[in-house]
Amino acid sequence: MYVRAPFLSYPRYLWCNISISELLLSFLTYTHLRMRIDLHNETVNIHSHLGGALLFVILLCTFPQVYLVHYASTTWVDLTVFTIFLSSAVFCLFSSAFYHTFTVYSREVSARCNALDYSGIVVLIVGSFFPCIYYGFFCDMHFQAMYLSVIGLAGIGAAYIVLNPEYRKPTHRGARTKVFIALGLSGVVPISHAYITHGFYKLCYEMGFGWLLTSGALYIVGALLYANRIPERLSPGTFDRFFASHQIFHVHVVAAALAHYACILTAFDHWHSRLAECPT
């Protein structure tokens, strides 16, 4: 069975947003399947990222046939960096949908699902860098290796922080958001380097930097709305089922990942339309 309950009747481990006054509480395993259909405050959270995960599965399966076959200069590395990004998006979005579906089951299940959700965010951020660094420094493997190593270590550090039981508490929502944003902004150094190397016009109009800026803006705006509980904090109870900050954040994440995909496709086309030739 499942019931709708006021905030103060929630189990304490679900006290994550006092501005959401109603929650669907589920007690039997089979009802979680119904949670994907029934209308409640987690419906948008579940479906937005479950649908997003399925979309990126389609992109992952179709990329080789749709894009790789058009250029004779493509290699296994192109397939690998795109697979890393698209797989990381699938993992992140599916982990999020899984968390929102099963978190109400018990404290223990909630903690594990929560850790899976945060792991997915770190994986998506780090995975997003692989194609960007590869195409941004297409002709310099040393910088590729250096930047990916640094970002990989930063991802491990971020995961260590956000997966710490202390930082998984609702009271540390702002701190977690700052860690995720800081991990994303670790790309400022390689982007600045690419700007110096390629110049503004080439970076923006030939290598998709505009899409990358759009992606970053969507992530940051969505994360800030989520961290500050806007708009539900301004009108508690009004956004219980639709347009809450977490739902807005979910939509921003899917849109940002798609913008990032557009960015790396542009960079992919840029290099391979030139037959992947590097200046001598």
Please write the tens of the pLDDT for every residue from 72-91: 889 999 999 999 999 999 99
Query: Of the candidates 178, 67, 69, 179, which has an alpha carbon nearest to the alpha carbon of residue 131?
Result: 67
Percent of the chain with pLDDT over 90: 48
Between 238 and 209, the higher pLDDT residue:
209
Tens-place pLDDT, residues 175-184: 888 898 899 9
User: Residue 54 CA to chain centroid, in angstroms?
Assistant: 14
**Do residues 97 and 49 lie in contact, with contact meaning Cβ atoms separated by under 8 Å?**
yes
Task: Give me the phi and psi of 30, to 5 degrees please.
Answer: -65, -25
Q: What's the pLDDT score for residue 14?
A: 52
Tokens in use for 84? 């890393």
Sign of CA dihedral 9, 10, 12, 17: negative
Q: What is the pLDDT of residue 63?
A: 92
Report whether pLDDT(44) > 60.
yes
Confirm whether residue 193 is marked as ligand binding: no
Helices (H), the chain: 31-34, 43-66, 76-102, 107-136, 141-162, 173-185, 188-198, 200-201, 209-227, 245-272
Provide the pLDDT confidence category of residue 230 given band limits of 50, 70 and 90: confident
pLDDT band at 276 (very low <50, low <70, confident <90, very high): low
Which residues are 2's β-sheet partners? 26
pLDDT of 1 above 50: no
Determine the straight-line distance between the first and last CA of the chain, rounded to whole angstroms: 68
Domains and CATH numbers, the chain: 40-272 (1.20.1070)
Read off the pTM: 0.84
100 annotated to a ligand binding site: yes
Please tell me the predicted confidence (pLDDT) of residue 255: 98
Q: How far is CA 202 from the centre of its chain?
A: 27
What is d(CA 199, CA 148) in angstroms, rounded to the nearest whole number?
A: 22
Chain segment 118-172, per-residue pLDDT in tens: 999 999 999 999 999 999 999 899 999 999 999 999 999 999 998 888 777 766 7
Is 246 annotated as ligand-binding?
yes
